[in-house]
Amino acid sequence: MEILAFGVQADEKPMIERAFAGHHDVRCLDVFLNEDTAPIAAGYEIISTSVNAILDHRVLQTLAAGGTQMIAQRSTGFNNIDLEVAERLGLTVARVSYYSPYSVAEFAWTLAMAVNRRIVRASNRTRDFDFRLDGLMGRDMHGRTAGVLGTGKIGEAFARIAHGFGMRLLGWDVAENPACLELGMEYVDKDRLLAEADLVSLHVPLLPATHHLLDAAGLKAMKDDAVLVNSSRGGLVDTEALVAELRAGRFAGVGLDVYEAEAGLFFLDKSLAGVEDDTLARLVTFPHVVVTSHQAYYTEDAVGQIIDTTVQNVLDYTAGRRGENVLVPRVAA
């Protein structure tokens, strides 16, 4: 059987081909799955998609009509998939429930330190042989307070790094993580965390309950000189409200690896076409803001685990097994 994989990056392609070798043939496409590209899947029983695929009811209906029966998404998040429609159409949908939490946690810290120590501005200056220090002053993280919104595996890894810096730890989650408690983390309500944290990092999934977790009120509750990092999902932050706060001169730095309207932008080259998104265009003009294109997970270790799990999900499907990563069909209560 030949598997069709959408949204495959150049670095991923040889890894995917090696992982599927001896099991199934795989055809890798660099285009992302959406309403325009869905007809390409006609005749493929199994397809694999990336996190920026659009799997709404129109795309799912096109896939089902073309003979697709299984979707293996190469990501943990699945808010881009209409699971109710997929189930109604009889599609099997699986995801990657786990991969290296260190990839995202380390990148979140990379963003935090990049904006705190003005690394991008400094690098741009030295390229022009401008070696002044004006405007490059940062702050020690030691002794300051890190607020971690979401203390699962990634949030815990982020907290361990913060603990290594010698920071006070505040956490917010629906359940306390014993490992974080051992680090000395104090669990508090969201308002207190935002009011006291010098660094706020987001590590929760995007669900209806967490959409715009940091809305206008939440952003206003943060310290004027706080650092904000989001390496989870763009929809957790109200970007319009964030731009308004930045225009008012607030926050010491903002590092974003995700953006709520990133579909159709991230992972693509828009350097010649330009970007019509006025909010994103305004966001990247602030000198203390760093925006990257959803690359926190993008390490050899994490991508290798994602691909290996995707292959196993496909093998489980072809063998008639229901693996732990299957989202649809749901198990009856």
Catalytic sites, residue numbers: 233, 262, 294
Query: Rounded to an integer, what distance in angstroms lies between the CA atom of residue 37 and that of residue 17?
Result: 21
256 — phi, psi (to 5°)? -125, 125
Quote the tokens at residue 279: 């909010």
Quote the tokens at residue 159: 């907290």
Query: Rounded to an integer, what distance in angstroms lies between the CA atom of residue 186 and that of residue 169?
Result: 6
Instruction: Give the β-pairing of 46-49 and 25-28.
Output: unpaired
Query: Rounded to an integer, what distance in angstroms lies between the CA atom of residue 105 and that of residue 206?
Result: 17
What is the distance of C-alpha 138 from the center of its chain? Answer: 26
**CA dihedral angle for residue 305, residue 309, residue 310, residue 312, rounded to 10 degrees:** 140
Q: 27 - beta bridge partners?
A: 4
Sheet harboring 25-28: ordered strands across?
25-28, 2-5, 46-49, 70-73, 92-94, 326-328
